[in-house]
A and B are shown apart, each in its own frame.
Chain A
């Protein structure tokens, strides 16, 4: 088993050095709780970002937040390092209300492509020089920008579906060429939700791929902005990545809000959180494995059913713990909702039984799946995602680790109880579909290790020290204009949240950094030039959940 490459030590860049690097281009400082922030002019974006990437090693555009204030628009580029995500810097780009035009960052970070489209779509900032300035989540015909000030929510929108007026378009993309345009989705057996992939085929070879997302856009960010910090936001994260990664998502909000409002979490609750989150990771990876097998095998085969069967056990354990099977709503700011279910011994034993049976099941998967020659022929050297490309697209999680990028928030930017436990970050250097499967399978085993240790701790925890929640005020009102970006290692990668408080008990801006969003944007790089079946397999290996992509 690979436990990853030796990590290159990353050179710490001090704030002074950053200040010198940005130099005169910094108009002001706008520090966030997590990172120093520099305000720059809208036409310096590429310049500054290139310097930060090449000179200071900030090679990860983790997120782009766009928002409107009373007097200006603002784009915030949250930069990090793959080598050390605790080193962060925020680049704040204000633009005027009358003419919200800002330079695009797409030539520096490819992932800015989709992010800036989203910023244009929802907030209304134009990015000059953007190669593809279309809406991304809403239909092309949408009027106005829903997250901008003065947007009239009551105004009925007529979506004429012009973009799909003719679902069966002429066979030839254009009259000259020999290619065929094919709509894969939004209703297709292998798109893992409602995803529409506009594909141009030359025979069976994929010439061009353009994922069209937004079919599952449910205004999650806005809904969170309309809920109070204390209780009303926590149920929403369950609904982003809705395939059993609920607790991992909840932790993203819990971590961000707790850091924002300076809330402590009792150690005991952290252990429970860690255990619950890893159970969710196992459930999620099992499903990823099962559906990937479905994509490659092409039918509801044994391996799919085995994956579902084993996930069911995890689901039962999580139900015992949280009372719910999918939408857990189990985390609270400052802890978790309640202690382990009584009788404790029974719960612990049940979980242990599952962990004891796991190695045999993983062996079975290896027998059926990774050892199968046809499976190897199908997945080796397909869906190649080179590490440099992956970084450009902001890929994280098993997708990045399958490309040999040793990046795991749990270890690199520790939270919860992970720091005190023995486990490894799994990486594979294959960069192909096969590596991503291997990474997920090994991560299941690592998660099992973590749960095992948590169970030992929970079993011996003194009875009078089992505090599941700290005291948190009934109403949370963080200071106005406090900004924070925090992330956790979700099932699919770095799940981050940016919150700006406006002095009330609801967030002023709530931005979700979805790992699936980034991972999916790399699909064209992975599948162009390969065959249709490889496109499907690559899509499956990304393990996207459209609920999280579209939010």
Chain B
């Protein structure tokens, strides 16, 4: 392709990526070093509210935002360096936890609790997604032509469902006297409350993610399997290679670039785990880094939100993603050059 044609095709995409991804990212990065504090004054306010039989009026000293001449709250924005990162990560609590030889105590800090769950979630689901995806792909590849269509359709179903909807339907199977809970109760002959066990909720969320994403891995691997060299497989068979040996030495090496690709996508996706927390109502038991950012952004009852800390938390999430995908990216780069 000529250079000019190349830029004509790629240019608009790069422009949009800069506009909608790179610039906002820089904005968030910038924001994470600044704190906007509204100016508040203490005033005596008389408030009259309904009562029985008649109104109650109380006068209290209240803190109230100062408004400028346009009726907007006055804010002081100051550069605070890493202060917001510090209040998210809470290094004092970490130091204290290690000094008192009780490292588990850092899980009292939301960030570390979220990081613990996010990492477990990411790395536990990864092998299952790869393994299950490959297994389905091999099964479909070896099934007869007539069955293939329906099998592919059924295996793709979980991937088609909107994540939150799929999550909620599994949640309903287990919450309260859900169908599955009743089954378990019948088997064990005692009352079971799945949602009161942190580990059970965590396991359910992981199960859901594997169930949801495995079809994606399956489609990619299945496409890859179509390109396996028949001659190599046949000569391996003549050499007396068992089924497993053919898989280990012929098929997997052939699929390796695709395995790296699926790993990369899955690491990035699952490090941003969020829908599961919402769908499984899991915030009392488990939170993720993305949930933490969302929670900072959510205004509380009086309309306050911690935008600075949300910016810091989302930068930390991004740094985390870069760290975990770095080894995979390096591998992909080496393969590419080789």
Are the chains A and B members of one assembly?
Answer: no
